[in-house]
Amino acid sequence: MTRIVEGKYMPLQNYLKKSTSSHVALTFNEIEIILNAPLPKSAYKYKAWWVNSRNAHSHASTWLEANYIVGEVKFGEYVKFISEENEGNQIQKRDSVIQLECLSNEEINYIESLSKKLDKVRNFFTEDMPSNFVNENLVKQHEVIKSFRRIIGNIDNDMSFLGCLLIKEFLNQRHSFSALNMALKPQGSPGLDVDENTSDGKRIIGELKTTFPYNENDLGSNQKSNFIKDFEKLKHNEADYKYFFVTEPKTFDIVQNKYHQYLKGVNLVLLPQAISNSQFIVSYS
């Protein structure tokens, strides 16, 4: 269905419609000259503004109705539009939706904070890390590792948050929601990792484990205890759909082989594989 493009963005759509190139790269300044108006601040800050989805933002019709998608954005510098007729483009479009569609501002802010953290890690290894750590004295070694720990913070919480975004994509493919915002519940806080209601009032609950097994063929003792606590939470909460999400293939195999007895009425899901392949979903009736 064709959407009416907001008048402000019609000049950009007309520009793209006239183009015969499979790739159109425009600087932010060039786009604003075409529009004869400034882009909103969110276009300079959030990749979600450029998502290839009419459902996410009406202004996406600007390029989609011109048979282009956004292939790359470098904030404040340029935007690359790619013709939808370009070979292989549908894969790129689908991948961009998985990464960006329907992310809330809070979720985007969290991802941006992760990006800043990774920049600090990169700077640490290029500027602060001793060239020969093993030959440093103990005090220096201690200071180096302490500094690194301060930079990375609670990396387990970061992994859990990204895991929750994968859960969001998985659930949105299978259920209908008015909205899902995975940044509202602080990582590590008590309660269920997922507790949502669908648009038709069905309750969905889930637990997430990003754990890599401590032992070769089993969980470690503390890991096992934590897993069983999560199994019990799923067991003792009434819901229409129950999920136990894991992000490590080895964990997925171990849970199937050694802990399936705890998962009656639960769907075991390996992410991100299950987003595109239902073979990585195991249902225990």
Residue 4 has pLDDT above 70, yes or no: no
Residue 12 has pLDDT above 50, yes or no: yes
Overall pTM surpassing 0.75 (yes/no)? no
The mean-pLDDT minimum among 98-112, 199-213, 236-250 falls in 98-112
Counting runs of H as helices and runs of E as strands, what totals does the chain give? 11, 8
28-35 and 10-18 helices cross at what angle (nearest 10)?
A: 110
Q: Which long-range contacts (CB under 8 A, 24 or more apart) does 143-149 make?
A: 148/121, 148/124
The mean-pLDDT minimum among 1-5, 45-49, 177-181 falls in 1-5
Amino acid 51: pLDDT? 78
Among 61, 243, 143, 215, CA closest to 69: 61
The model's confidence at residue 90, banded by pLDDT at 50, 70 and 90, is very low
Amino acid 87: pLDDT? 42
CA distance 257 to 183: 33
Amino acid 110: pLDDT? 87
Residue 212 has pLDDT above 90, yes or no: yes
Amino acid 94: pLDDT? 43
Question: pLDDT tens digits, residue range 38-49?
Answer: 998 888 887 777
Question: pLDDT tens digits, residue range 244-275?
Answer: 999 999 999 999 999 999 999 999 999 999 98
